[in-house]
Structure 1
Amino acid sequence: ARVALVAERPVGLWEQVQGREYGFWANVNPAVSHPRWSQATERRIGESAGLFGGARINTLPFNGYGEQVAGLYTGMDLTKFY
């Protein structure tokens, strides 16, 4: 795979398919609800009986990688760019 530097950011897949619901950044922000559901809690696939049968747990910011990536979003409005 090649890396290309471009003048304008590309449109991501989910942004293309459902742009009103998913932005380019595609972060899970537990403090900001998705237009159709809350992101405050989640169920992990495969942790209990059935596909979505697990107990609900609190969602971690930045998909659980906050310590590693939070600095990339310094100064951004994370209620807008979630």
Structure 2
Amino acid sequence: PKEYGFWANVNPEVSHPRWSQAAERDLETGEKISTIIYNGYAEQVASLYDGMKDELGTALFK
């Protein structure tokens, strides 16, 4: 939990402290692809995080 905050895990626009997570490799093809917000599940989970940034502020990034 101290390595990086929540947003660095699910938001490709927020980098891990030591590297960018804006791109990833497809395990099957090895192709480098853009990371999708919420790991591709935005339609299913985005509403779970409504207001989280207002409530937790910068803690999401640490």
The answer to whether TM tops 0.5 is yes
Q: Which has the higher contact order (CA 8 A, sep 6+)?
A: 2
Q: Say yes or no: does 1:38 pair with 2:24.
A: no
**Count of aligned residue pairs for this structure pair:** 58
1:38–1:71 CA distance, 2 compared to 1 (3 A)? same
Indicate if the aligned counterparts of 1:32 and 1:79 stay in contact, CA closer than 8 A: no
Runs of 4+ residues over 4 Å off in structure 1: none
TM-score, with normalisation over the residues of structure 1?
0.57
Q: How well do the aligned residues superpose, as a CA RMSD in angstroms?
A: 2.5
5+ residue gaps in structure 2?
A: none
5+ residue gaps in structure 1?
A: 1-14, 48-53
Structure number with higher helix proportion: 2
TM-score, with normalisation over the residues of structure 2?
0.71
Structure number with higher strand proportion: 2
